[in-house]
Amino acid sequence: MDTAALIARESFVERSARARVAGLLDEGTMRELLDPFERLRSPWLGLQDIVTQADDGVVIARGAIDGTAVVCAAIEPAFQGGSMGEVGGAKIAGALELALEDARAGKPVIPVLLLETGGVRLQEANCGLAAIAEIHAAIVALRAHVPVVGVITGPVGCFGGMSIAAGLCSELIVTREARLGLNGPQVIEQEAGIDEFDSRDRPMIWSLTGGAQRHACGLAETLCNDDAREIANAVSRAVAAPAREPARLRDIDTHLARLQAVDPAWRAEAAWVRTAFASKQDENGSPA
Amino acid sequence: MQRLSLDYAAGAPAARRALAGVVGSGDLEVLLEPGTEGRSTVEINTSVDGVNDIWTAVVGRIFADATQPAVALEINDFGATPAVVRLRIAQAMESAAGRGEA
């Protein structure tokens, strides 16, 4: 990247959730639902002596992208690690369920999810998990009618139950800075030991769970630079695409065969994972 | 977590509401709404205990001018320094006055 391009580039990763949404929507079309002044905040954090955010860290907005009606749900990465609490989760689930009603009524509204989350908010436990399950169900139901667009850009990445939500999207857009995984590095290290996964080894972590690797393995459709315009263009293309079920969601047998080829005694390595994902069911899955 | 309520003399109510910041590490969220004529109120929720005197001094200085628009502020703080507090409040005030964006 040359210097002029670097200076002209606007980062998407550095934006707050609200600024991310505002940047994606056509000028003047953004209408926020349950905005911060509604003060729909977490009822649980205050009880545990934790400061709440007035929108519970989730921005829901209706608007248009290139004239197509969309509903954006964006998780604020800076608030509690983008964790999904009862209220924030219900806001996303509710927005998706309304989009489903609209789709069934023949007035499609395309959902765009900006997923920046460590997963469920531990302080809200099952209340957050229940909301995540509702989000999963809504995405699966919506996929039959409209494209469901997921975007992970970093800095947090997308983990826990929400990584499943990302995986369920019909189109997933990631950056090199993004990460996607069921468990975060520290959880893996704590459960499996430092020999298995060193949570301080950042190159290793990104080589396995980073956006470029996930894209190379076919788990994300589009890899973008951290450039607000490039990401907006990718979202715009995804919103305009027809509803579809990508192969990664249909081809369950291939995924199961890949899992069976994994020997838990091996330490995972980026190149081998790429080879395994490129291989078909009948091919040998041993390390290259 | 500590809560703190402050109030100050002010001018006419602010024209509109405004938002600045997020409840992230070293940052805070300011929700600004028009206050009642002649009086500004500031409700602070902060993750840092035992610094009420600093809040009173910092916010008191910002609201020292009794001719400023009357506002009702809610501040949700996650360990912002006084400089960030001033910046975010100024940002919300400017946004409410129609100058710049929150």
Give the DSSP H or E segment for A110: strand A110-114
pLDDT for B40 beyond 50: yes
Looking up residue A25, the CATH number of its domain turns out to be: 3.90.226.10
- Give the residue-averaged pLDDT of A224-240: 97
pLDDT digits (tens, 9 = 90+) for B44-56: 999 999 999 999 9
pLDDT digits (tens, 9 = 90+) for B10-33: 999 999 999 999 999 999 999 999
A154 and A286 co-located in one domain: no
A57 and A167 co-located in one domain: yes
Which amino acid is it at A225?
A: N
Q: What is the mean pLDDT of chain A?
A: 93
- A1 belongs to a structural domain: no
Q: At what angle do helices A202-209 and A270-278 cross, to 10 degrees?
A: 0
Domain encompassing residue A259: 251-288
- A52 belongs to a structural domain: yes
Task: State whether B25 and A37 contact (CB < 8 Å).
Answer: no
pLDDT for B88 beyond 70: yes
Q: Is B1 on the interface with A (CB under 8 A)?
A: yes
> Looking at chain B, which residue has its C-alpha nearest residue A81?
B24
End-to-end CA distance of chain A: 33
Please name the member of A36, A46, A51 whose beta carbon is closest to the beta carbon of B31.
A36
What distance in Å separates residue B67's CA from the closest CA in chain A? Answer: 25
Q: Is A38 on the interface with B (CB under 8 A)?
A: no
Task: State whether A37 and B31 contact (CB < 8 Å).
Answer: yes
A207 and A257 co-located in one domain: no
Dump the DSSP string for B1-38. -EEEEEEEE--SBPSS-EEE--S-TTEEEEEEEE--TT
pTM: 0.93
- A233 belongs to a structural domain: yes
Comparing C-alpha atoms, which of A225, A219, A110 is closest to residue A172? A219
- A267 belongs to a structural domain: yes
A191 and A272 co-located in one domain: no
Task: State whether A78 and B23 contact (CB < 8 Å).
Answer: yes
Cα A17 from Cα A31, distance rounded (Å): 14
pLDDT band at A286 (very low <50, low <70, confident <90, very high): very low
In chain B, which residues have their Cβ closer than 8 Å to the Cβ of A53? 22-23, 29, 76
Q: How far is CA A175 from CA A206, A213, B90, in A?
A: 11, 10, 34
pLDDT digits (tens, 9 = 90+) for A80-121: 999 999 999 999 999 999 999 999 999 999 999 999 999 999
Q: Is A16 on the interface with B (CB under 8 A)?
A: yes
A219 and A275 co-located in one domain: no
Q: Is B20 on the interface with A (CB under 8 A)?
A: no
- The residues in B 81-100 lying below 8 A from A, measured between CB atoms, are none
A118 and A169 co-located in one domain: yes
Residues 6+ apart with CB under 8 A from B100: B91, B94
Given this model, what pLDDT does residue A266 score? 84
Q: Is A163 on the interface with B (CB under 8 A)?
A: no
pLDDT digits (tens, 9 = 90+) for A52-65: 999 999 999 999 99
Whole-number percent of chain A with pLDDT over 70? 96
- A48 belongs to a structural domain: yes
Task: State whether A78 and B17 contact (CB < 8 Å).
Answer: no
- Beta-carbon count within 10 A of A119 CB: 26
In chain A, which residues have their Cβ closer than 8 Å to the Cβ of B27? 78
A268 and A190 co-located in one domain: no
Given this model, what pLDDT does residue B29 score? 98
Please name the member of B24, B31, B77 whose beta carbon is closest to the beta carbon of A79.
B24
In chain B, which residues have their Cβ closer than 8 Å to the Cβ of A80? 23
Would residue A66 be called left, alpha or beta, if left means φ above 0 and alpha means ψ between -120 and 50 degrees? Answer: left
Cα A12 from Cα A1, distance rounded (Å): 17
A40 and A156 co-located in one domain: yes
Task: State whether A78 and B24 contact (CB < 8 Å).
Answer: yes
A31 and A57 co-located in one domain: yes
A107 and A165 co-located in one domain: yes
- A81 belongs to a structural domain: yes
A184 and A234 co-located in one domain: yes
A155 and A107 co-located in one domain: yes
- A88 belongs to a structural domain: yes
- A220 belongs to a structural domain: yes
The total of structural domains in chain A comes to: 2
Q: Is B76 on the interface with A (CB under 8 A)?
A: yes
Q: Is A117 on the interface with B (CB under 8 A)?
A: no
Q: Is A54 on the interface with B (CB under 8 A)?
A: yes
Residues 6+ apart with CB under 8 A from B4: B42, B43, B44, B46, B52, B55, B56
